[in-house]
Amino acid sequence: MLSPENVIANLRASSKKQALHELARRAAEQTGLHERAIFDVLLERERLGTTGVGNGIAIPHGKLADLKRLYGLFARLDQPIDFDSIDEQPVDLIFLLLAPESAGADHLKALARVSRLLRDRATCEKLRGADQPAALYALLTEPTAHAA
């Protein structure tokens, strides 16, 4: 779901919309899908309710018909931004999750796994302290992180 090239250590964005746009651009490079299609799906999901889940974390997600598999992209922002989060705190850790429209339960399982991982305060502190993509990737994929 997540590969080393899909980890961004210092994403620059000054707004939620700009962050989503930049994530959509990077996701388009990796998936071969059109950037606008990804961005539109993410914006549509945000209209339903914020994906800013609290504690500085956002998990924007959506389903796309042309996607072949689950796809994840993680970004640590260089500066926290307002994300309309449920706790009204700014966001600095974003995990983008894209799934094929046919994913069904796999999409929900992946969302639950990401949510569980990012609910762990120690993991989030380590993510905030790491400034290299390889270190972030290692933290996000270490087996102990998924045992929770």
- Nearest alpha-carbon partner for 140 in 78, 96, 79: 96
Which residues are catalytically annotated?
61
Evaluate if residue 146 carries a pLDDT over 50: no
CA 51 vs. chain centroid, Å, equals: 10
Question: 3-state DSSP call for residue 123?
Answer: helix
Distances (CA, A) of 121 to 38, 73, 74, 114, 117: 29, 20, 17, 13, 9
Q: What predicted TM-score, i.e. pTM, was given to this entire model?
A: 0.92
The CATH number of domain 4-143, selected from 3.40.930.10, 3.30.70.20, 3.40.50.800, 3.40.1350.10:
3.40.930.10
* Each residue's pLDDT tens digit, 61-112: 999 999 999 999 999 999 999 999 999 999 999 999 999 998 888 888 999 9
**Segments making up each domain of the chain, as ranges:** 4-143
